[in-house]
Each structure stands twice: as C-alpha cells, then as structure tokens.
Amino acid sequence: MTPAAVRPAVGSQGFLRRYVFSTDHKVIGIQYFFLALAAALAGVALSLLMRYHLTNPDTKVGWFGALWPDGAPGGVMTPELYLSLLTMHGTIMVFFVLTTAPQSAFGNFILPLQIGAPDMAFPVLNMLSFWTTALSFAVLLAAFFVEGGAPLSGWTAYPPLSALGAITGPGQGLGQTLWIVSIAIFCAASLMGAINFITTVIDLRTRGMTLLRMPLTVWTWFLTAIISLLAFAVLLAGGILLLLDRTAGTSFFLPAGLLVNEQLLDRRGGSPLLWQHLFWFFGHPEVYIAILPGMGVVSTVLSVFSRKPVFGYRAMVYASLAIAFIGFLVWGHHMFQSGMNPYSAFAFSLLTMVIGVPSAIKTFNWLGTIWGGRMEFTTAMLFALGFVSVFVTGGLSGLFLGQSAIDIYFHDTYFVVGHFHIIMGVASVFGIFAATFYWFPKMFGRHLSERLGKAHFYATFLGAYAIFMPMHFLGFAGNPRRYPDFTNFEFLADLIPLHKAISHAAYFTAAAQLLFLGNLVYSLWRGKAASANPWNATTLEWATASPPPEHNFDEALPVVQHGPYEYSVPGAAKDFVMQHEPAESK
Amino acid sequence: MLLAVLLWIFTVVSCLAFAAKRWWFPGAISTHAQAYDQQLGLTLWVCGAIFVAAQLLLGWAVYRYRNRGQSVRFTRGSNRLEFAWTTATAVVFLGLMFSGFGIWAKLHFARPPAGALRVEVMAKQFAWSYRYPGPDGKFGRTDVRLVNDAAGNPFGLDEQDPAAKDDIVASALRVPERTPVVLTLLARDVIHNFFVRELRLKQDVVPGMAIPLAFQADRPGKYEVACSELCGLGHHQMRSLMEVMTRDAFDEWLREQAR
C-alpha cells in the first residue's frame, strides 16, 4: 500500500509552491507558528491597551484618538472601545494562539517526524487548513475597520447581546457578523486539520510504532485532534444558528417580548441558554485543546532533561484519555449561575471534580519523572518546570469554581480571570515556549540563545504570577470582570491600587517578551548551528537532520524498536536509547 | 537553583498575601452567606495546603536533583503510587464538593415560607427596577407594549388592572431585616446578572425567563447591586442599591409609597 503522503519530487517547484502554498508539513507548521506569533503580538498589544485604560480611564492619549476617532474621541477610550478590545483579545488569544500554536504549529511540524512518516496523510488538505485559518484571522481583524468597529460581546458572544445587531451597541452590527463568520471559517479549518491529524496517526505510523510506543506528544496531539473534530463541529453549528438569528430573522436564541433600546422586537420561541450550551460544549473542551499538547511537551521535556523515563507512561496515556473524554461532560460548570436547572449543577460539579483527578495524576507523574533525576536547566526545561508550577496553581483555583456553591460568588469576577489565564493562558504559553526552545534546533537548524532564553523565562515566570495571582484577591473583593472602569461602585474604589500593580506587572511581562522576540530574530540567522540530536533525545524527530530533508528521512523510514523515553536504562552503553536503534545496542 | 528559590519565595509571598486579607470578602449578612464563608474557608485551607506542598516539593526537587554529576535513579513508575495518589485526590476533591452541596441545595430547593416578601426585579440596559405588589399583595398585570421608562413604568404596568394600581415601582431594592424575601428576576433585552456581595448571591437574569432568588438579610445597611454579566457598553454603570431596613422603617416606607 502506498502511503497517501508520497508525492512526486519537488525540485522543480518555484518559490510560491515551496514556501507559500507548500504542502510540506514542516513548512506548514512554521507558517502556523508565525501566524500564532503575529496573533500573540496583536493579542498582547490589546491587553496592554486594556490594562492602561483600566487604571487611567480619563487620561487623554493622542494616538488613541488618531487610531480610533469614534472609539476614543479626543483620545479618551470609550467603554465600547474597551469592550471591543476585550472581545478581540480573547478571541485572538484563544483561537489563533492557544489553538493554533500547540496543535497546528508544533503538531504539524513534529508529529509526522515522531511517528516516522514522510508527511501528513493529506498534504493538500493540510495546506488548505492553514490558508483557511489565515483567512479566518484576516476576517476577524477586518472587524476593527468596519462601521461601528469590533464587537463588544466578549469572546463568548452571548445572545441576545450578540444576536440583535447594532441596536445593542456599536460593533454589534457588521463587526459582530464578521466575528461569527471568522469563527465559522476557523471551525472549518480546524475540522480539516483534525481529520488530517487523526488519519496520520492511525495510518502513517512507521513499522514498530505501536500505540504504546508513541511519544506522549503524539498521544496528546492525537487526542486533541479528536476533541477538535467533535467540539468545533458543534461551535460551527452554533455559529450558523447565531448568524441566522442576526441575518435571516430566525429566533433560535431569542425569546418573545424583547424590548431593546425602546424597540419591541418581533421574535419568539428561542432560548438564550441554548447558545451557552452549544458554546460551552465547544468551549470547555477547547481548554483541553489548548493545554493537552503542552502536557505532552512537558512530559517529554522533563524526561529528556532529567535523563529519566517519563514516570508512569501508561498512567499518563490513560489520564490524557480520561481528560479528553470527561472534558466533554463538564461544560455546564460555566453555566452554574446561568438560570439552567439547578439540579444539573450536581452532575456538572461532580464531573468537574472528577476531571481534576487525571490532571492531578499528571502532576504527580511529572514530579515522579524529575524525582531522582539529573536535571539540566535548559530554557525548555525551565519552562516545563514553570508549567508544572502554574498548572498546580491554576488547577487549585479550579477547585473553588468547580463547586457550584462556591462559584456563586466568584462567577464572572476577576477570580475567574485569574484562574483561566493561569491554567489556560500561562500554562499553555509555557508549553509553547518549552516546545519552541526544545524543537527550534530541529525546525530551523539553529539553537535559540540559552542566555537570553533563561532571562526571558525568569522574567515571564515572575511577571505572569505578578499579573494573575492578585486577580484572585480582586475576585475575593467581588470585582466583576468585563468592566471598562471601576468608577461607578464604592466597593471598587479600594481595589484601584491592586489594579495599578497588575497593570505594571503586565507592562513588565510584555516588555520581557522582547527578549524572546530578539532571541528569535537573532537566532534564526545567527544562532548556534544544531546537530541532528542536540539534546541526546530518543524520539524519531532526532533521527534525521536538523532541519529535516524534504521527506523527513533521507533513506528508508526508521523502524521502531523501543519505547519513547529510554533514558539511563541500566546496562545500556549510553544514557539514552533512540527509538529506532537496533535492540542489541542496549 | 534560582528557580527553586523563586518557587519558595513565591509560595511564601502568596501565603502572606492570603493571610493579610487586605483585599477580602465583605462581612456576611445572611445565614446563607455564613455557610458560604465556612465552605469557602474549608476550600481555602485544603487548596492552600496542596498549593504549598506542591510548590515546595517542586522547588525541593529542582534543588535536590539538579545536575551535580549524580547517577539517575532509574524507574518507569509505580502502580502502587499511581493507585495511592489517584485515590487520595479523588477523596479530597469529591469530599470538598459533597461538603458544599448542602449550600447549593438549600439555596435552590428550599421552599420559601408562605409569608415571604415577593419583589420583582427588572433588568434592562443599563438599569435596575424593583416592583412590590402593594397593599393588596397582588402583582398587577403587565404588558411589554406598555413599558415607558420616561413615565416611570419600566415593567409595563397595565393601569386597567385594579391590582396594578397599588403596585410600587422603585429604583432601589428595599427589604426588611430578618424576613424571607423571594425575588423574581426578569430581563427585557439582554442577559444581566444580579449580584450582592454581602449576600454571597449571584444569579443571571435572562430574557424570557423568570428566575427566583430567595434570601434573608439579617443586618441593616446599604449594599451595592452590581451587574455581573456583560450586557453592553454601560455594563459597568449598571448599579443599584439594596437597602436592608428595620422592620418598622420598611413598613413606614411601604406606607409612604402606597399613598
């Protein structure tokens, strides 16, 4: 049988075919990487504007006014502009950074290499999914430039606010429509990617690569693809219904008797809660889409730089399976206070606590992996260790929110903002950084600077905690999220100093990312040249050149003889045994 | 090494910040709020203990197992350990959850006493209104087509209905102390959220639904009501007051309004 990935030689192809509309999974992975990087820069920039406005609500900033004549007349940001920045920040970060970088960028580049395949199963589909994602990003950004600007309903876009058009506020017109269209396109792209990943893992594993010899990264990319397939399909359906409510006069999410802005609407029969069910049926698994690949990366990096096998490999696989499955059964914990039947809170609360168990198992196994090891603190390793720390912190605040009763007070406060930024944002981003430092030599044939990398890690580690830990206290004080300023409530006045500190921590942490950007640009051209296997690692991507040739493996595809994490095996000649090394070298 | 120290410092600083309670909950003014605070305290202690243990342990591992040329203690795992920590976390997590279920159940499933004060709450972009049934104890008929904010009729009271004539509509929520109250939460445009910190109560207000919310406030005072579900550009201004009054003061206020 001929693998689907076998293609004619490409020597004759021009620049466009090779680097722009390439079907090579490695080029596509790098394209996704830079798309995610661009999106991250945009998303961080928006968050800085938000943090600035929150603590300086009345300050005139000339270029705000120049950039947004309507949104910031005279240079003072209006609440609607703030809310549109908030919507776009969340959307960009969740979809185009946290979904795109861990899965589409690194998964694309590394997964075929790690399973010993010459490419993804459907190379053309792969190209198509990247360009569809890029189109989706362009449509989203276009929302900034249309009449009324970007939507203000948040990344969750709850109807009726999101379903009624410009009558509910600026940005709710064409801007909100573009937002929905962008998300629908993104769903389509993700579905294409998911099918490709799943098929590749099932069909294109090289000889000897049994399921339980797959590196944990392959497992997590595989499971993430399955989650994506099921979750994005539901979001796509929800998005289409919302679009119909907006443009075709349907009432899927709209009840009778709506009186909006003095206008009585002729809609009936729909339910605002239906959207929340559809959205969170996608939205909660999305958290695992963002974090699972990072868990795979962290498991691998901790093992490589402790020179020890992953502790409890099978337990890790089962925990990942459990997370992927139960992740679909907990969406209701986002809706404890939504007005849905309060009896359902028992089930959702129970399942939410249950899903904490496999997460805890992973943490224990990570500690087990480094315990008794010989740790080398490369930047990748530091980010992996940082991941464990923030994963614990963010997971524990989840034990507050997962109890329906305790969630009453914290729902929609900064406690939630702190919780999900740590567990979904910072943890995933640490996973991305660990992956970047670990695989950069393979992707680009050069090392990132370790010195700059470590400075960047420490600044980011401290900065991220300095931003998001204090948010828990804001939550204790009851500070609602998604407020453009805190001037209207007496109880919020006391919190301004804390907000100021958070803003300064945000400026500091954002500035620290310049270290990474500088490192990236410098190392792309001037970085230390990388050998095929600079970390003395065991998995198959290190069995080929850095960067790998056109079809990944120059000669025959490698044949797998060992598990993925054979470090310091007693009796072996060296402290690592690569997966494809003949058995007698043990 | 540096990471180990940072982890330890971070853990200590976090604990101190929690212990200082500089930014904290306002005092509880109801039995529900007290029960809530108790469960929250338990959760804080349990999670705090796990947090400290995990971060310190991580820091210790980073310090202890840094590369000093030692040989690696080879292991692939331990089923006994996996079993032990799976069981332990399941017991702790589920125990925490079950101990909090009573609060939820009491709030949502307890039948309010017959004599409870009933108040309707209407949320719209970006204001709150409250309606009392008046001396006849009956809420009059409403119709959304009769809504007229400028004329002080945010509920759309139908003047044709005799029961509507004595209904009281106010922009602040006034309730007597130590009296069961049942709110009916209504919204007419988008989703809002009724949040009073001191009651530890928060409930979405959804158009098309009439969501009940029961409480009993025990301490007189003025408390802020904050919208806690993004409802548009004036979300952050959507404030009103809840005034808990002595029984006499409340009755006096009712009489004044009925006149």
A477-489 confidence digits (pLDDT tens): 999 999 999 999 9
**SS3 state of residue A136:** helix
C-alpha A434/C-alpha A512 separation (Å) is 16
Is residue B220 within 8 Å of residue B242, measured between CB atoms?
no
At A246, list the tokens.
Answer: 């907006």
Cβ within 8 Å, pair A312-B73? no
Mean pLDDT of chain B: 95
At A91, list the tokens.
Answer: 């959307």
C-alpha A429/C-alpha A447 separation (Å) is 20
Q: Give residues with Cβ within 8 angstroms of B182, minimum separation 6.
A: B112, B116, B117, B118, B119, B212, B213, B214
Nearest C-alpha in A relative to B228: A480
pLDDT higher than threshold 90 for residue A10: no
Report the gap between the CA of B255 and the closest CA in chain A (Å). 30
DSSP 8-state assignment for residue A17: I
Please state the pTM of the whole predicted model.
0.96
pLDDT at A197: 98
Nearest to A363 among B54, B231, B236 (CB): B54
C-alpha A498/C-alpha A501 separation (Å) is 5
C-alpha A265/C-alpha A255 separation (Å) is 10
Q: Which amino acid is at A126?
A: N
Mutual orientation of helices A344-370 and A313-326 as an angle, nearest 10°? 160
Task: Tell me what the mean pLDDT of segment A394-403 comes to.
Answer: 96
Cβ within 8 Å, pair A168-B2? no
Q: CA nearest A293: which of A364, A218, A352, A360? A: A218
Task: Tell me what the mean pLDDT of segment A81-109 comes to.
Answer: 98
Q: State phi, psi for A423 to the nearest 5 degrees.
A: -80, -35
% helix / strand / coil in chain A, to the nearest 5?
65, 0, 30
Residue B168, exposed/middle/buried by CB under 10 A (0-12, 13-18, 19+)? middle
Q: Does B197 touch chain A (CB under 8 A)?
A: yes
Cβ within 8 Å, pair B77-A79? no
Report the gap between the CA of A222 and the closest CA in chain B (Å). 23
Q: In what order do the strands lie in the sheet with B127-132?
A: B168-170, B127-132, B117-124, B181-187, B211-215
pLDDT in tens, B166-217: 999 999 999 999 999 999 999 999 999 999 999 999 999 999 999 999 999 9
Cβ within 8 Å, pair A311-B43? no
Query: Which one is predicted more confidently, A47 or A586?
Result: A47
Optimal mutation site among A54, A58, A305, A338, interface B, most CBs of chain B within 10 A: A338
C-alpha A216/C-alpha B259 separation (Å) is 74
Mean pLDDT of chain A: 95
B190 contacts in A (CB within 8 Å)?
158, 160-161, 164, 168, 260
pLDDT higher than threshold 60 for residue A244: yes
| Antiparallel, parallel or unpaired: β B168-170 and B201-205 | unpaired
pLDDT at A5: 44
Cβ within 8 Å, pair B77-A386? no
Report the gap between the CA of A10 and the closest CA in chain B (Å). 43
Nearest C-alpha in A relative to B184: A339
Residues of B (167-186) whose Cβ lies below 8 Å from A: none
C-alpha B84/C-alpha B69 separation (Å) is 32
Nearest to B236 among A400, A478, A485 (CB): A485
C-alpha A274/C-alpha A191 separation (Å) is 23
**SS3 state of residue A158:** coil
Q: Does B209 touch chain A (CB under 8 A)?
A: yes
Report the gap between the CA of A157 and the closest CA in chain B (Å). 9
pLDDT in tens, B115-161: 899 999 999 999 999 999 999 999 999 999 999 999 999 999 999 99
Confidence of residue A11 (pLDDT cuts 50, 70, 90): low
Is residue B87 within 8 Å of residue A384, measured between CB atoms?
no
pLDDT higher than threshold 90 for residue A471: yes
A399 contacts in B (CB within 8 Å)?
43, 46-47, 93, 96
pLDDT at A462: 97
pLDDT at A6: 44
Q: How many interface pairs between A and B have CB atoms less than 8 angstroms apart?
A: 309
Q: State phi, psi for A81 to the nearest 5 degrees.
A: -65, -45
B21: left (phi over 0), alpha (psi -120 to 50) or beta: left
Confidence of residue A19 (pLDDT cuts 50, 70, 90): confident
Q: Which amino acid is at B200?
A: R
B211 contacts in A (CB within 8 Å)?
339
A83 contacts in B (CB within 8 Å)?
230, 233, 235
Report the gap between the CA of B131 and the closest CA in chain A (Å). 18
Cβ within 8 Å, pair A491-B203? no
The residue whose two tokens read 């212990």 is B19
Report the gap between the CA of A466 and the closest CA in chain B (Å). 10
Confidence of residue A9 (pLDDT cuts 50, 70, 90): very low
A494 contacts in B (CB within 8 Å)?
23
A460 contacts in B (CB within 8 Å)?
none
pLDDT at A2: 42
Cβ within 8 Å, pair B82-A377? no
Q: Does B73 touch chain A (CB under 8 A)?
A: yes
Report the gap between the CA of A310 and the closest CA in chain B (Å). 7
pLDDT in tens, A51-90: 999 999 999 999 999 999 999 999 999 999 999 999 999 9
